[in-house]
Structure 1
Amino acid sequence: MVLLKTILIILLVYYLFKILLKWFGPKLFSYAAKKTQERFKEQFEQFNQENQNTVHEDGDVIIDKKPRKKSNPTKKVGEYIDFEEIE
């Protein structure tokens, strides 16, 4: 009898969850999509404000960053090994 009760409770919870998901799923999805859209909009506006100072009225772009230093090309990394095919 206990096993039958447990199975009925599991089925009841499963179908209740399924019904609730059917009712509230679209609302939750639209809420999450709206929040994600707001975050992207905020990030875009912030990016736009940061880069607004780098563009002149005539369309020229100013780059304020310094170029990176290149690594030393004369630095010996390893030894060259020539492989030959054996037939």
Structure 2
Amino acid sequence: MQYASVVGLVRTLLIILLVYFGIKILARLFMPFFLKFVAKKAEARFGGQFSQYQQQQRNQQKTTKEGEVIIDKIPNTKASNKDVGEYVDFEEID
């Protein structure tokens, strides 16, 4: 059976602190490069989506004639529910 020693405890704490501060220093050094990489990837993805949207708009303009109206979506019209009851107007009493 082994027992914990003070030297082993201090050694473990020093290793944990060195790893923590090492990661902290490396993060400060490499984080700007990582953020630039992520920003470039996001810019490329959004730029691709924007160009696809522009392409779709151009294709729609070519297929429609001047003055023609196109409805993309029919709005949902909800009928009022008659089972709810009637509306009662009220007045505040002072």
TM-score tier by shorter-chain length is 0.7 to 0.9
Q: How many residues align?
A: 84
- Bigger shift: residues 46-55 or 9-18: 46-55
**Structure 1 residue 40: Cα displacement:** 0.3
List 4+ stretches of structure 1 deviating above 4 A.
Answer: 59-62, 81-87
- Unmatched segments (≥5 aa) in structure 2: 1-6
Backbone CA RMSD of aligned residues: 2.7
Partner of 2:55: 49
Partner of 1:63: 70
1:1-87 equivalences in 2 (<5 Å): 1-55=7-61, 63-73=70-80, 75-76=81-82, 78-79=84-85, 80-82=87-89, 85=92
Q: Kindly, what percent of the aligned residue pairs are identical?
A: 39
Larger gyration radius, structure 1 or structure 2: 2
TM-score (norm 2): 0.68
1:29-62 CA distance string (max 9 Å, x none):
0000000000000110111111212235xx8785
- Unmatched segments (≥5 aa) in structure 1: none
